């Protein structure tokens, strides 16, 4: 999976003082960046300008995007494992948000070290924290989803397109619905907790990044299937629009 970006330096050189509506920095001049780590990526354009960015998209968001690309390209079996990975990383994200919500001084790294080894522990922590924070039961993960994922991963089970899309829709609806609940119930505290998580993840690498001779460090949010509610109102719409203009994720 890649990110299609623009090079700020080339953009400014070409676009200059033109009226914003007349684009002279054309589509073909956007550089592509292969995503092989999270949350950082490095951009180098054809003119050798270098930039460093941190992605503000969450890892679950990237995994969901990649799993959907798998279906689009006919790799149905592979999509199941990646969708499931997106769910598990989503639970991790929520657990961290909830712990900061209850205690901003939580040493999350220490807690995660203990529960990260077993997905069942993570699920238990997610359920309990959801109930404690939102005052209602979470939607419990359907057992048959986990069984299918395990058969795919451990027994080489093959699946067809419908099974893969059924799994994808389940994950899409689960994350979208949960996020809108978090939004409405946690309000401004959600952004606070989210920023705290970003800081924890990025702080150790900031120095490393500044040592590399890349120009500037910026944070960028790439519109995705999960985050772009207007463009992708439901799961099916992820398969209807395949062309992107400007900045975005590509296969
Ligand atoms: Zn450039």
40-55 residue pLDDT tens: 888 888 889 888 888 9
Tell me if 155 is assigned to some domain: yes
Query: Ligand 1 centroid vs 229 CA: distance in angstroms?
Result: 31
pLDDT (average), residues 125-137: 97
Q: Are residues 28 and 107 in the same domain?
A: no
Q: Are residues 89 and 131 in the same domain?
A: yes
Query: Ligand 1 centroid vs 226 CA: distance in angstroms?
Result: 30
Query: Ligand 1 centroid vs 25 CA: distance in angstroms?
Result: 11
Q: What is the pTM of this model?
A: 0.92
Q: Are residues 122 and 39 in the same domain?
A: no
Q: What is the DSSP letter of 225?
A: T
Query: Ligand 1 centroid vs 50 CA: distance in angstroms?
Result: 8
Domain endpoint, select from 175, 194, 213: 194
Query: Ligand 1 centroid vs 43 CA: distance in angstroms?
Result: 9
Give yes or no for a contact between 78 and 48, defined as CB atoms under 8 angstroms apart: no
Alpha-helix residue ranges (DSSP H) falling in 135-187: 143-155, 161-186
Tell me if 68 is assigned to some domain: no
Tell me if 171 is assigned to some domain: yes
Q: What is the DSSP letter of 188?
A: H
Domain endpoint, select from 176, 194, 212: 194
Tell me if 70 is assigned to some domain: no
pLDDT of residue 217: 64
Query: Ligand 1 centroid vs 30 CA: distance in angstroms?
Result: 9
Q: Which residues surround ligand 1, an ion (CB under 5 A)?
A: 7, 9-10, 45, 47, 49
* Interatomic CA distance for residues 12 and 245, integer angstroms: 18
Q: Are residues 152 and 86 in the same domain?
A: yes
Tell me if 12 is assigned to some domain: yes
Tell me if 187 is assigned to some domain: yes
Query: Ligand 1 centroid vs 16 CA: distance in angstroms?
Result: 14
Ranges 12-26, 98-112, 139-153: which has the least confidence: 12-26
Give yes or no for a contact between 149 and 156, defined as CB atoms under 8 angstroms apart: no
Q: Are residues 161 and 244 in the same domain?
A: no
Q: What are the two backbone dihedrals, phi and then psi, of residue 121, each rounded to the nearest 5 degrees?
A: -65, -40
Say yes or no to pLDDT of 111 above 90: yes
Number of domains composing the chain: 2
Q: Are residues 33 and 113 in the same domain?
A: no
**What is the DSSP pairing of strand 40-44 with strand 32-34?**
unpaired
Average pLDDT, the chain: 90
Say yes or no to pLDDT of 15 above 80: no
Q: Are residues 147 and 176 in the same domain?
A: yes
pLDDT band at 250 (very low <50, low <70, confident <90, very high): very high
Q: What is the DSSP letter of 223?
A: -
Which domain covers residue 9, as residue numbers?
2-58+203-250
* Interatomic CA distance for residues 174 and 138, integer angstroms: 10
pLDDT digits 0-9 by tens, 145-164: 999 999 999 999 999 999 99
Q: Are residues 177 and 102 in the same domain?
A: yes
Q: Are residues 122 and 88 in the same domain?
A: yes
Query: Ligand 1 centroid vs 20 CA: distance in angstroms?
Result: 19
Q: How many CB atoms lie within 10 A of CB 119?
A: 15
Query: Ligand 1 centroid vs 60 CA: distance in angstroms?
Result: 30
Tell me if 65 is assigned to some domain: no
Strands of the sheet containing 40-44, edge to edge, are 40-44, 50-55, 215-220
Say yes or no to pLDDT of 213 above 60: no
Report percent pLDDT > 70 for the chain. Answer: 88
* Interatomic CA distance for residues 137 and 78, integer angstroms: 31
pLDDT of residue 24: 61
The residue ranking higher by pLDDT, 212 or 158, is: 158
pLDDT of residue 246: 78
Query: Ligand 1 centroid vs 7 CA: distance in angstroms?
Result: 5
Listed in sequence order, the residues at least 6 apart from 31 whose beta carbon sits closer than 8 Å to its beta carbon are 4, 5, 6, 7, 43, 44, 45, 46
Q: Are residues 27 and 114 in the same domain?
A: no
The angle subtended at Cα 33 by Cα 32 and Cα 37, nearest 5°, is 165
Q: Are residues 129 and 223 in the same domain?
A: no
Query: Ligand 1 centroid vs 37 CA: distance in angstroms?
Result: 22
Tell me if 66 is assigned to some domain: no
Query: Ligand 1 centroid vs 13 CA: distance in angstroms?
Result: 9
């Amino acid at each position: 999976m890649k990110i299609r970006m623009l090079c700020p330096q080339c953009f400014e050189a070409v676009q200059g003082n033109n009226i914003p509506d007349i684009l002279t920095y054309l589509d073909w001049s956007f550089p592509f960046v292969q995503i092989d780590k999270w949350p950082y990526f490095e951009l180098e354009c054809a003119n050798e300008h270098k930039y460093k960015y941190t992605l503000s998209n969450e890892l679950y968001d990237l995994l969901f995007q990649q799993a959907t690309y798998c279906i689009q390209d006919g790799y149905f079996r592979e999509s199941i494992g990646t969708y499931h990975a997106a769910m598990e990383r989503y639970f991790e994200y929520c657990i961290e948000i909830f712990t900061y919500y209850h205690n901003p001084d939580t040493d999350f790294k220490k807690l995660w070290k203990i529960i990260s080894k077993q997905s069942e522990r993570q699920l238990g922590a997610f359920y309990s924290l959801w109930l404690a924070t939102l005052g209602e039961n979470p939607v419990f993960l359907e057992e048959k989803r986990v069984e299918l994922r395990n058969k795919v991963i451990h027994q080489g089970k093959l699946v067809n397109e419908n099974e893969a899309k059924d799994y994808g829709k389940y994950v899409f609806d689960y994350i979208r619905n949960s996020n809108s609940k978090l939004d409405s119930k946690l309000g401004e505290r959600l952004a606070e907790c989210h920023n705290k998580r970003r800081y924890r993840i990025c702080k150790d690498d900031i120095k490393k990044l500044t040592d590399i001779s890349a120009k500037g460090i910026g944070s960028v949010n790439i519109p995705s299937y999960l985050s772009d509610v207007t463009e992708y109102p439901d799961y099916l719409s992820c398969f209807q629009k395949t062309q992107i203009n400007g900045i975005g994720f590509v296969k």
